[in-house]
Structure 1
């Protein structure tokens, strides 16, 4: 029998935020309506927004930085800083830290979450980023890999088209912006439910957040997660799980998990991280 009560007592699912964090499932609309990216700029100050782009997860960070620079300027931001961290020494640069300090919004691009974590983990830049977000100085958004790194632990890689099992997912250390969640991206688009369940089975004190493409899980300071975009956000909640064979079976054997709770939320639906209740709030977001 798996006992979860003590785990949740040690690790409450309650982000220490004073402004919004936007976890985007990847492939967000960059051309037409740009609903999610526009919402990010608006949350960051609208015409007064100074956006800092961190393109370090990308294999072509210069090109990725320029792409988002142009998008955010076209949306109407006041200024855009490209915070180019190509190696860990850049994450200690006084010049880059000074640029980041003036940003009312910070945006982490897609790419490889392991690369992003390796470049930023335990650096002055990450410490300052957390401070700016947690103290309400900067709105944070991350897409694809930039969303996957939000938790204290993250999915580094994994498979699909198999039942949940211990070998299906590889975990690594994330950036700990919202420590008590595990975020997966491109979710239903790449059939990733089994790997998120596998990750949660290994870390039953966390809450699973699976985000579809062109979809955003918007974490509010009051503990509400609001869904925005074309797809769905899947919540995998293990709080009521009373049995799993995770520690008893071979790594490739299917897992048994009893009383796992799953919610599928679409645009304008909400999930309360404090009460673990779902809510539809159609008046809170513009229609698509």
Structure 2
């Protein structure tokens, strides 16, 4: 049997799926193999892609936009625009709306998720991006702040290195792209396990997803998640949560949570969001 190249395999998988939403934990490799960025590039159409970069979360959007533009141009993209949105009214510019009509991939950079939300939330531009991503018409990626903002109940900030407690996490409203999830990034690298558990204690109807640096949770058609990269994706599933003291204790008091299920997935492992089952990489081939 002829061996497929990695790019051919990615393109074949893309044809079999409806969605390509890449939630990246931050600090993805931008120099060597660029596996995660290459996956986004392939999912968006490769050299035939029409990409949009949204660097609005960054305090230096021009620098961030140029950085990713250079990376994707080195990969071979011919059509790319940086959406330089620094005020909410910039979302109304006809050039961005017109470009989205033929766009095949949108990449949201890191920075401050509250800034990104304040600029894009409840705008027709964001509604077009969200609708296209959910329908599988574009590949959508977000790294660091661009990952956190994927949730409806978004982790906006907080601490680390403590026992789970409600004061450990600051919650806000996100862009509602993956509404059933609460996403945390730079996960094990910044010791954020307790922070994610604290968020889930407050929102036990959601599933927690903690993504390490240079790691991506790739959401594919049929409710499937696949891990790409060098770290892990931690899934906190509260479906069988039998007890939490969250409603009855103070903000700084330790939390009790009984019946949580935790999965830690590495490169190639998959997770079925509907059946709540994990499959190792070897069995996914």
TM-score, normalised with respect to structure 2: 0.92
Cα-Cα RMSD = 1.2
Query: 1:19, 1:254 → 2: CA distance?
Result: 39
How far off its partner does 1:68 sit?
A: 0.4
Partner of 2:266: 266
Question: Which structure's relative contact order is higher, taking Cα pairs within 8 Å and 6+ residues apart?
Answer: 1
Instruction: Give 1:284 shift.
Output: 5.8
Q: Which residue of 2 aligns with 1:248?
A: 248
1:25 aligned partner = 25
Consecutive unaligned residues in structure 2, runs of 5 or more: 1-16
Question: Normalising by structure 1, what TM-score?
Answer: 0.91
Aligned partners of 1:51, 1:190: CA distance in 2, in Å? 31
Q: Which residue of 2 aligns with 1:189?
A: 189
Range moving further from structure 2, 209-218 or 42-51: 42-51
Which range is displaced more, 124-133 or 180-189? 124-133
- How many residue pairs match? The answer is 269
**Which deviations, in whole Å up to 9, do the C-alpha atoms of 1:204-263 show, x marking residues without a partner?**
010000000000000002111000000000000000000000011111000000011111
Q: Is the 8 A contact 1:20 1:221 kept in 2?
A: yes
Query: Which residue of structure 2 lines up, in the alignment, with residue 175 of structure 1?
Result: 175
Looking at structure 2, the residues matched to 100 and 113 of structure 1 have their Cα atoms a distance apart, in angstroms, of 22
SS of alignment partner, residue 137 of structure 1: coil
More helix by share: 2
In 1, the alpha carbon distance for the partners of 2:54 and 2:284 equals: 29
What secondary structure is seen at the aligned counterpart in 1 of 2:53? Answer: strand
- What CA distance in whole angstroms lies between the structure 2 residues aligned with 1:91 and 1:201? 35
Q: What does residue 132 of structure 1 align with? A: 132
CA shift at 1:123, angstroms?
0.4
Q: Is the 8 A contact 1:18 1:133 kept in 2?
A: no
Q: 2:269·2:284 contact (CA, 8 Å) conserved in 1?
A: no
CA deviation after TM superposition for structure 1 residue 283, in Å: 7.4
User: Matched residues in 1 for 2:284 and 2:41: separation?
Assistant: 17
CA contact (8 A) 1:217 1:227 kept: yes
Unaligned runs of 5+ in 1: 1-16
Question: How many angstroms apart in 1 are the aligned matches of 2:51 and 2:108?
Answer: 11
